[in-house]
Structure 1
């Protein structure tokens, strides 16, 4: 069969139309993804990266898992959560779910909990995504937010 320019054009148009639903589905999935989903660098008070935390959204709730720990000199490369309680005691910090039940609100993200693997303590959590989408203010507290501590995490590129 001889391919004419018109038949090639028709074939390209049909292929393009066939790809439209797939492209639309991908775009919709990306658009519906929560803006804080992704990997973040947890930065301490000395501006040192302590860990990478992957935030993921499932059913309108955001959880966070430590994917990599950056140990201080002289500390173990794969530390355990020795101060954690219950089933988490002595589990590897890498792979540990440290953020649970964070929900998006008009004011930011509220209602979650964050676990500090260094102390084994769990704190209430609020988070605010900065307008550029590249920094996340993470605030852990007991009781009132006024008496908490804030870290600014950086989005990993």
Structure 2
């Protein structure tokens, strides 16, 4: 007697809880979008504020840090869809630049950082007419904003006040 493999028996229906988890609770997922989070500038504990500011989940998300991460926090990061890149202090900017070179096919970038070292990459992204959303602390906004073309229609700045952090 022959038995046939029936794919439907092994397929799980995707329910609303799965969709909420994958889309960070927003129900919105954005293809061709990539997020780069510099963990030294804005701590991971502010993930909920970041999610609420964006109102969508990007296709790919990276956390860049120079510090070791506790296993429990690493699990949470991975559950939220982050790929974690641990770099040495001297090469974290090089790591960010190499991530950008790898991800040329993306049309939208989200930076979470208050580090003005991102300005050169931001200018490159905007020169290629790609979208950039930059989430930063208000204390460092002036330093970054003075180096950027704030009139660029593809640039969106979101500032988190120190009272929110």
- Shared fold per TM-score greater than 0.5: no
| Structure with bigger gyration radius | 1
- Of Structure 1 and Structure 2, which has the larger fraction of its residues in strand? 1
Please classify the TM superposition score into its range, dividing by the shorter chain length: under 0.3
- Of Structure 1 and Structure 2, which has the larger fraction of its residues in helix? 2
Instruction: Flag the structure with more relative contact order, 1 or 2, with Cα contacts below 8 A and sequence separation at least 6.
Output: 2
TM-score normalised by the chain length of structure 1: 0.26
